[in-house]
Amino acid sequence: MTRRLRQTLAVAEWELRRCFSWWHWLLAGTAVALEVLLDDRWRTWRITGVVVAGTALGTFLLLEGIRAERRDQVAEMMASAVSARTLLAGKALGTALYILLWLSVASYPAF
């Protein structure tokens, strides 16, 4: 495995872990509650809601993470360890995995 790939995976894992913040558990809890409370007439809305919420949250957490790194002044230490392109690729991969997780949750009722 090349250095760049190892770094990309490390960043992706970090981002994925970071996504499981209290925001995630709040939304996931709401989704579960809706699953229990709403009957099948609301199925389409339920699925759409989970997809939109997951995608929006993933994107929000990605941007918030980038903003937090600048605010916390950790960007300089990061930049010396990993190239900007690798960092972005890792962040994008981690966020994409997170959104995929939401999509798989949303598609669960279809099975």
Residue 50 vs 82, nearer CB to another protein: 82
Residue 28 vs 87, nearer CB to another protein: 87
Residue 8 vs 106, nearer CB to another protein: 8
Contacts to another protein by CB under 8 A: 3, 6-7, 10-11, 14, 17-18, 68-69, 71-74, 76-82
| Cα–Cα dist 93/95, whole Å | 5
CB atoms within 10 A of CB 29: 10
Write the CB contacts of 49 (distance below 8 Å, at least 6 apart in sequence): 31, 34
- Which residue in this structure is represented by tokens 């989970």? 50
Instruction: Provide the minimum distance between the beta carbon of 11 and another protein in the complex, in angstroms, as a whole number.
Output: 7
The kind and range of the H/E element at 106 are helix 84-107
Residue 21 vs 48, nearer CB to another protein: 21
